[in-house]
Structure 1
Amino acid sequence: MKETTGRFKAATAVEGAGAGGLEEARKALAAARARRGAELDRWLAGLLEATGAAREVALVAVGSHSRGELTPGGDLDLVLVHRGRPDIAQIADRIWYPVWDRGLRLDHSVRTVREARKVAGSDIKAAMGLLGARLLAGDQDLADQLRAVVLTDWRAQARRRLAELAELTRRRWADRGELAFLLEGDLKEAKGGLRDVYTMQAAAATWAVPGPGERVRAAHDLLLDVRHALHETTGRAGDRLHLQEQDAVAHLLGLPDGAALLRVIVAAARTVSYAADNLWRHVDRFCADRPRGIRVARPGGRVERRPVGDGAVEHEGEVVLARGADLTDPVLPLCVAAAAAQAGLPLAPATAEQLAAKVPPLPVPWPAEARDALVSLLGAGPAAIPVWEALDQAGVIVRELPEWEQVRNRPQRNPVHRFTVDRHLVETAAGAAAMTRDVARPDLLLVGALLHDIGKGRPGDHSRTGAALARTMAARMGFCDTDADVLETVVLHHLLLPDTATRRDLDDPVTIQTVAQKVSAVPGRGRQVLEILAALAVADAQATGPAAWGAWKARLIEELVRRVDACLAGGAPPRNGLDPTPEQLALARHDGAAVRIAGSRVTVAVPDRPGLLWRTAGVLALHRLVVRTARVFASAGAGTAVLDFTAVPEYGTPPDPAALEADLRRMLAGRLDVAGLLERRAAAVRRRPGAPVPPPRVTIVEDASDTATVVEVRAHDRPGLLWRIGQAIGACGLQVDKARVDTLGAEAVDVFYVVDAQGRPLREPAALSALREKVLAALR
């Protein structure tokens, strides 16, 4: 309880609210509810006593009254239980009429235990109410019998009732929206509201799933206090918190204003929503399982645990830590999160908590593996959102990115925005993942999308403030100075394209020159910044809401980008970075084939021959190595080729270097059937579908080289990807003269300079089209 209450205090402290004011106000409201409930209990018990039938009937409360949560606008919900008395109607009238005379709203019923059981069997809402029935006065045995039969039936019919409850809950969510992201949300019925806690408690009563934890109960208590304050200030029973009422409700709760109130509501509602999503996911699994909830196990009785990444396995539809995962590795939380998102699976809440509690914080600057894992997590698209939420609920995000605290749970009191600031940032990054094929640096696009509004909630212009924060955060993440400059520029100018396109004359040369000057703030990176801003403009608007994006705006931005790009095209192109290093050239002069393995670095120097790249990549894939970078250089004069790879294990420990070198030499000598071994391995591996990813893109880059045909491949990274691409190029009778292969997060950005058997570039359109289609077919 203390931990969760502390979370709500933190949410209000930045608004200047005194935590003591909120806590004192909440204590007063809880005391008022307790007094009112006790007074009603005594009065209603007296009404039953006055009938003279207290020993033969039972008056029970259900709903908020039974839970001790009756707010000023709450209804009384009473059931009079009897054993078949013929005068029960007269007894009931002597209770109901005084209640109505007092002006109280009453929902009432008169039932025998058998009748109540029948109603509960057909009406799930009635059943949920009776599960929590509390005796107010009368026959204790009768009340106990009622609860016992309803609870027994509820558990016996758990699979059917839980399926009904799940459907009912999700229909309500679709109808009422999500409380955390609504400016005028329903405190009870919206997703993340009070009703969700009650349904989770009912689900837990089946014993099929666990009940709400301490954090959820604390969140429920806060929302109940807000509902009480709303009824108190408005004098009516409604549960929708309208904008004009928020300041008054905030003041009654000891908060400075409606903005502070919304922030504590968001924190509570997200806690409930997160728990509800997890619970109903377990309910779905339980309902789809075999009768009586029997788990499907492997021979020997062990439940299957499928590896999904280094240190992470899938267990019962969630990602959990693998046995022996290194909890001393500060990169582990991001690696496990990235593996979960890329597999399209949720991160188990207990695993997120374990990562937060036991794994040390990342060093500053972050190691490259952490930065890569972050980009891979964001690059999973929509699948990244629930995984990010799991890390956020566990406290991992704020620990590694302290600047996140200022935007966390911060509402945007603007009807155009449909999310809080932090959720908007994550939604934007998820949307940007669909456009990683459109930019040279998908990692900078994804991180820029995550940080573009990081300055909100601080004094001054949020773009300027955010740009400074983005540079600081980029340095912490380990980006080089030039990349940090790009991220700073992207955050500073993330509104440049939409604002200019919709507010300036695109036919005015000054407009184009002004934009070109701003995007060229980082020398040599102007066109790169422009394409990132173009993609970010789309992702940002789509994550904002339907009113922020449309075909008209899209056409204007597209035209602006086209004109600015033409303006920038006169600059000198950046170097392609394909030149070999002196060390690699020395290795290439080695007599015969040379193989060098140093950690994750694998270098091969050998007389040049067709298919060398993809066969070498195939050997790496056989050893479960994922290629992160590859550089290929062919020396026409010496007739040698140098292949330089950075390759890391798909998961688990690296392969034995001696075994890897032996297989590479066998391949070079023509004594290893790489294709056959890969096909057999692929047939033996059962892979479940992961998160949806954008389709691959293959582009023939015209006028990029006079001596070779340049093929750019953009695709979602996966084991054996380079093997498939190289095999397709070889099938067209082409050789790779140079290649640059990079994996940025989960995105492969590969460029191949290919020539025909005579060492010439392809010129014929038909041949170029056939090459593109062949590579695309291999990627599919």
Structure 2
Amino acid sequence: MKSLNVPNQRAVIDRRALADAIHALVEDQGEKARGQIVQLLREALENGRAEIARRLTEKPSAGHECTGAQAFLIDQLVRVVHDHVTEHVYPVANRSSAERLTLIAVGGYGRAEMAPHSDVDIAFITPTRRAPWCEQVIEAMLYYLWDLGLKVGHSSRTVDDTMRMAREDLTIRTALLEGRFIWGDRALYDETSRRFWAEVAKGSERQFLTQKLEERNQRHKRMGDSRYVVEPNVKDGKGGLRDLQTLYWIGKYMHRVRSAAELVDVGLFTRAEYRSFRRAEGFLLAVRCHMHIITGRAEDRLTFDLQREVAARMNFADRPGKSAVERFMQFYFLQARRVGSLTGVFLSHLDDEFANKRARTGFFAGWSQKSRMLKGYRVFAGKIAAPSDDWFRKDPVRLIEVFQLAEANSLEIHPETMRLADRDSALIKSDVREDARANALFLDLLAGRNDPETVLRWMNDAGVFGRFVPDFGRVNAQMQFDMYHHYTVDEHTIRAIGLLNRIEKGELVSDHPRSTRLIHRVNSRRAIYVAVLLHDIAKGRGGDHSVLGAEVAHELCPRFGLNDNETDLVAWLVRQHLLMSATAFKRDLTDPKTIEDFVSQVQSLERLRNLMILTAVDIRAVGPGTWNSWKGQLLGELYDAAQERLRLGHMRHGREQRVAAKREAVAERLGSRAPLVAQVGKLLDDSYWIAEPEDVIARNLVQYEVAREIEEHLSIHCEFDEERGATLVSVIAADHPGLFYRIAGGIALAGANIIDARIHTARSGWAVDNFLVQDPLGKPFREGQQIERLKKSIADALANRIELVPKLAARPLPHTRAGAFDVAPRVTFDNNASNRFTVIEVNARDRPALLNRLARALFESNLVVQSAHITAYGERAADTFYVTDLTGDKVTAAVRLAEIEARLLDAGSDRRQRQLEEA
């Protein structure tokens, strides 16, 4: 039985006083007292919870104390209820041997680790023959517990049934493993416990280990398979409480330990590792308790809005360059990483134990696999191991060497060696960091050709990475408090290195054909690997991380052994690593000025190749689904245009030649309908022919002709475009002011997001507008029902059959989590980015119909929108518009720009959103 060491227990609940009060009520009122008894119990529960919450406020990291006190509170209530039911409700003077009942706390309740709103898991165990009295008592107790609002997970079984079901069901076996006597017949509990170990556990250790590890792997897959997801599940996520509990379950099952502390005695943990276990567990339990108290329910997902509140409750404060919530989450992820490294050490010990116990028979009897030596290390069973306890102390450079050898030879690092590396990582000081051999080994590992991602992650888990590259240590476990980045900075970086390695090996050719070709044409492959390592190295320092990162690169690259040219290239790439994506996603790539400005910054083909590769892996490593074919296409268009300009010193083809070539290509694509290029195409000016891809032009020309033939005043064509990963929406209608914002509103009402828009007016006065749309999850509309809804919504908006403003305001936010972030709207004007247009960029919180409101503000400002480029970064939208005034000129007057800015800020503000919703 696990004792609950709860200080000042009676301040949490005074069981005797409560029992006496109930007894007095029964004496006074008999059966009529039930309602008042429930009220007494409820008050005791609420007062106990309040006391526990108060204690947690005083000691906000005391997770063990909080969960232990909660288990104690429930224990006392269950005991009071049991005694009341057996003494007053169903009293029996002389019970038979069958009329016995024991109450066993199982699961988290059994471990005495209960958050304030955790389930109360109780096993009601009866002797071999169940008596009606037992069933009556169990039922009455459950009704009392339910009346208190407790969520009770219960089972009622005989001892024989319990043993049989435990053998068959892993969940029941695990629950009983935690079994703790609460109240009732103690002898019956002892019999249940003895039989469990003798009949269920004995001989099934290996099976239990295998099943538990498989259960853990499946759970990790469901939760995102990374301990660095930015909204982690504290209980079930990788590196969470369930992982620590799994270690304890396995250790207890294998070695019959009664507490986690005894794992030290059986050699599964060192004392230092157990202290880490206890610290991590205490912190995670405290976080979970705060989440339950804040939400008033059993909440285990540490969402963005909860992160702020828990950080404040746990007394984390802002620091220069890093907010309180970012510091809290960095500490959280450090604990999660510690859980991961403890898991590795623990499981490897068990693996070794079973390997030693596994008897060999027949020909292999008495044979053991022979180890070989590799540069002083022992290599056996696919693992590399340090030969002695003082191996790293004798030469700390070996702390880098062991990881490099593991990567180069596709070996795992023996967990005992990982333990030594973790212990001795503090030996890495400035002399090791400046050692030429150590840096050469690190560079070989970083640019390894097998699996640098996995080995760098091991190196990070052991604490060696951050010691050897202190700048990387500063971003270790550092989250980015937004909805765009899915991982911590170090995990994002290591994933990006892994993607670069896979691109180099040709494994991602279908998604990244251009980068797969280019990586074999760069002058220095090690420079691009170092650039990927350093591109986010200066995040969280309170300034522009690109500028600060370039300074870090100038310091680190020579240390790593890069020459001056490589150092300059890496520093430039880090400084400009956002340039290509910002240009491709926010600027009009058909505007020659866009390409000229981009090329003036890139200046060389070598930089361009490297920047293309870095941009691709950076975007893809942000998280699942962040990279898509549309982004790939935009980056490809920018790369091709810039390459042509850099290679030839000018654009190969002038405007007339480009239009002529496009017309020819479209005619070929149209086949028998090629005459449309002359008939309809003459109505569209050169900017249309340059802006639109050949396949889109071909569709537009056919759509225009059909609309004219049937005298259709509004033609809407929607088609799933597999290559772009979006749905193409083409609208042909008589042009009139406000057309763009109405179409945008109709698309929003259909539940779609616009990711790109091009607006054209034919010489006939008809608008030809093309939009690429996706659903809120970044997927295209492809089902017939979705397509029809999209068409109808646009048609209704353009025909004024619906009131757009109230309809749009009534739509719920697709990303309710966006409310956890402060995104102040910001408007910038650029009259130098284009020779013909004023470029307006609006940053605001992403929400339904934002584009519609911005487009309406532009319409009310008497501006003509030529093209719109829509980019979302999680909770933040960055929408760019190429506009002119009604006379076709740029907008330059300061007063006019100020008026436009005010309108756009109002349209993009949260206040405006609330006003619309209230209206």
Change beyond 3 A, Cα 1:368–1:564: farther
Letter in 1 for 2:103: L
The number of residue pairs the alignment matches comes to: 544
CA offset at residue 70 of structure 1? 1.4
Counterparts of 2:294 and 2:282 in 1: how far apart (Å)?
18
Letter in 2 for 1:374: F
Asked whether the 8 Å contact 1:444–1:483 carries over to 2, the reply is: yes
Q: Which has the higher contact order (CA 8 A, sep 6+)?
A: 1
**Structure 1 match to 2:196:** 150
1:558-573 equivalences under 5 Å are 558-569=636-647
Asked whether the 8 Å contact 1:489–1:519 carries over to 2, the reply is: no
Counterparts of 2:438 and 2:157 in 1: how far apart (Å)?
62
CA offset at residue 381 of structure 1? 6.5
**Structure 2 match to 1:121:** 167
CA offset at residue 72 of structure 1? 1.0
1:96-107 equivalences under 5 Å are 96-107=142-153
3-state secondary structure, aligned to 1:238: coil
Asked whether the 8 Å contact 1:33–1:69 carries over to 2, the reply is: yes
**Structure 1 match to 2:229:** 182
Counterparts of 2:152 and 2:343 in 1: how far apart (Å)?
30
Which of residues 299, 321, 326 in structure 1 aligns to 2:386? 321
Judge which range, 546-555 or 131-140, deviates more: 546-555
Which of residues 69, 72, 75 in structure 2 aligns to 1:38? 72
Change beyond 3 A, Cα 1:284–1:568: farther
CA offsets 1:67-105 (integer angstroms, 9 cap, x no match) = 221111111111122323523212323433322232222
CA offset at residue 281 of structure 1? 7.0
Counterparts of 1:283 and 1:30 in 2: how far apart (Å)?
27
CA offset at residue 232 of structure 1? 0.5
Letter in 2 for 1:43: L
**Structure 2 match to 1:461:** 544
Counterparts of 2:625 and 2:157 in 1: how far apart (Å)?
52
CA offset at residue 59 of structure 1? 1.7
The answer to whether the aligner puts 1:77 opposite 2:121 as a matched pair is yes
CA offsets 1:232-269 (integer angstroms, 9 cap, x no match) = 11111122233223322222222344433322322222
**Structure 2 match to 1:619:** none
RMSD: 3.5
Counterparts of 1:250 and 1:355 in 2: how far apart (Å)?
32
The answer to whether the aligner puts 1:220 opposite 2:298 as a matched pair is no
Counterparts of 1:295 and 1:232 in 2: how far apart (Å)?
58
Asked whether the 8 Å contact 1:506–1:512 carries over to 2, the reply is: yes
1:1-400 equivalences under 5 Å are 25-26=59-60, 30-50=64-84, 51=86, 56-84=100-128, 85-86=130-131, 87-152=133-198, 153-178=200-225, 180-207=227-254, 210=268, 213-256=274-317, 257-276=324-343, 292=358, 303-307=369-373, 309-322=374-387, 327-358=393-424, 359-361=427-429, 363=431, 366-380=434-448, 383-400=451-468
**Structure 2 match to 1:557:** 635
3-state secondary structure, aligned to 1:449: helix
Asked whether the 8 Å contact 1:410–1:420 carries over to 2, the reply is: yes
Counterparts of 1:362 and 1:322 in 2: how far apart (Å)?
26
TM-score for the superposition, normalised by structure 2: 0.54
**Structure 2 match to 1:544:** 622
Change beyond 3 A, Cα 1:284–1:561: farther
CA offsets 1:316-354 (integer angstroms, 9 cap, x no match) = 443322469564333312221122123333333432342
Counterparts of 1:423 and 1:306 in 2: how far apart (Å)?
34
Which of residues 465, 476, 481 in structure 1 aligns to 2:559? 476
Change beyond 3 A, Cα 1:332–1:438: farther
**Structure 2 match to 1:715:** none
Letter in 2 for 1:100: W
CA offset at residue 422 of structure 1? 0.8
Letter in 1 for 2:399: P
**Structure 2 match to 1:503:** 586
Counterparts of 2:451 and 2:298 in 1: how far apart (Å)?
39
Letter in 1 for 2:621: A
Counterparts of 1:366 and 1:46 in 2: how far apart (Å)?
67
CA offset at residue 409 of structure 1? 0.8
Counterparts of 2:162 and 2:567 in 1: how far apart (Å)?
67
3-state secondary structure, aligned to 2:243: helix
CA offset at residue 457 of structure 1? 0.9
CA offset at residue 375 of structure 1? 2.7
Asked whether the 8 Å contact 2:64–2:285 carries over to 1, the reply is: no
CA offset at residue 447 of structure 1? 1.1
Counterparts of 2:63 and 2:443 in 1: how far apart (Å)?
46
Counterparts of 1:297 and 1:368 in 2: how far apart (Å)?
50
Radius of gyration: which is bigger?
2
CA offset at residue 66 of structure 1? 1.7
Counterparts of 2:432 and 2:254 in 1: how far apart (Å)?
46
Counterparts of 1:22 and 1:111 in 2: how far apart (Å)?
37
Counterparts of 1:59 and 1:121 in 2: how far apart (Å)?
21
Counterparts of 2:362 and 2:543 in 1: how far apart (Å)?
57
**Structure 1 match to 2:719:** none
The answer to whether the aligner puts 1:487 opposite 2:570 as a matched pair is yes
Counterparts of 1:543 and 1:260 in 2: how far apart (Å)?
22
Counterparts of 1:117 and 1:79 in 2: how far apart (Å)?
13
CA offset at residue 365 of structure 1? 6.3
Asked whether the 8 Å contact 2:177–2:253 carries over to 1, the reply is: no
3-state secondary structure, aligned to 1:80: strand
Q: Mind listing any 5+ residue stretches in structure 2 that lack a counterpart?
A: 1-54, 88-94, 256-266, 318-323, 505-518, 650-919
Change beyond 3 A, Cα 1:123–1:364: closer
Judge which range, 459-468 or 159-168, deviates more: 159-168
CA offset at residue 145 of structure 1? 3.0
**Structure 2 match to 1:416:** 484
CA offsets 1:650-670 (integer angstroms, 9 cap, x no match) = xxxxxxxxxxxxxxxxxxxxx
3-state secondary structure, aligned to 2:335: helix
Change beyond 3 A, Cα 1:107–1:276: same
3-state secondary structure, aligned to 2:69: helix
Letter in 1 for 2:206: R
Letter in 1 for 2:71: G
Counterparts of 1:458 and 1:297 in 2: how far apart (Å)?
63
Change beyond 3 A, Cα 1:508–1:111: closer
Letter in 2 for 1:534: M
CA offsets 1:36-82 (integer angstroms, 9 cap, x no match) = 33233233334444527799532211122222211111111111223
CA offset at residue 29 of structure 1? 5.5
**Structure 2 match to 1:531:** 609
Letter in 2 for 1:341: E
Change beyond 3 A, Cα 1:159–1:251: same
Asked whether the 8 Å contact 2:524–2:566 carries over to 1, the reply is: no
Change beyond 3 A, Cα 1:567–1:160: same
Letter in 1 for 2:236: E
Counterparts of 1:217 and 1:294 in 2: how far apart (Å)?
38
Counterparts of 1:296 and 1:445 in 2: how far apart (Å)?
54
3-state secondary structure, aligned to 1:156: coil
Counterparts of 2:361 and 2:621 in 1: how far apart (Å)?
39
Judge which range, 395-404 or 560-569, deviates more: 560-569
**Structure 2 match to 1:626:** none
Counterparts of 2:625 and 2:233 in 1: how far apart (Å)?
23
CA offsets 1:414-455 (integer angstroms, 9 cap, x no match) = 333221111111111121123353422111111110111111
Letter in 2 for 1:25: K
Counterparts of 1:535 and 1:139 in 2: how far apart (Å)?
69
Judge which range, 273-282 or 249-258, deviates more: 273-282
